[in-house]
Amino acid sequence: MLELADRLALTPDQKARTETLFNTMESNARGLGKALVEQEHALDRLFAAGLITREELAATVERIGRLQGQLRRVHLEAHLVQSEILTPEQIKQYGELRGYGSPGTNKHDPGSHKH
């Protein structure tokens, strides 16, 4: 969004709110991403050492799944908040600039972002 701030004619307030939103999202995502990588490495080490039990496997995979879900939520919540910052016209223009469908058929605006 910030890369397109000029083309979307973001107001100073919109730009400041977007920067704050991005910084918060990035900080939260980094922490979760680090924890996710640590859990994946722990799982790899248990398998490599031949020490994994079914219980440890279940618990570790559940932790990994929770972290993946939390990371996805952080990202998608940022899209929801961003759609509250922009005007409907800016949302439409953003979709067009990002190539999310042809003009007038924006199915992937920040409020309905799909991965």
- Asked if residue 49 is part of any domain, the answer here is yes
Question: Would you say residue 106 lies in a domain?
Answer: no
Q: Is residue 96 part of a domain?
A: no
Rounded CA gap, 45 and 51, in Å? 8
How far is residue 42's CA from residue 59's CA, in Å, rounded to a whole number? 12
Give the number of domains in the chain: 1
User: Is 83 exposed, middle or buried (CB count within 10 Å of its CB: 0-12, 13-18, 19+)?
Assistant: middle
**pLDDT tens over the chain, length 115 residues:** 899 999 999 999 999 999 999 999 999 999 999 999 999 999 999 999 998 999 999 999 999 999 999 999 999 999 999 999 999 999 999 999 988 865 444 444 454 454 4
pLDDT at 102 (0 to 100): 52
Residue type, 95: G
The answer to whether residue 114 sits within a structural domain is no
Domain membership of residue 101 (yes or no) is no
Q: What pTM was estimated for this model as a whole?
A: 0.76
* Spatial separation of the C-alpha atoms in residues 115 and 32, rounded to whole Å: 18
Residue 77 belongs to some domain of the structure: yes
* 41: containing domain: 2-87
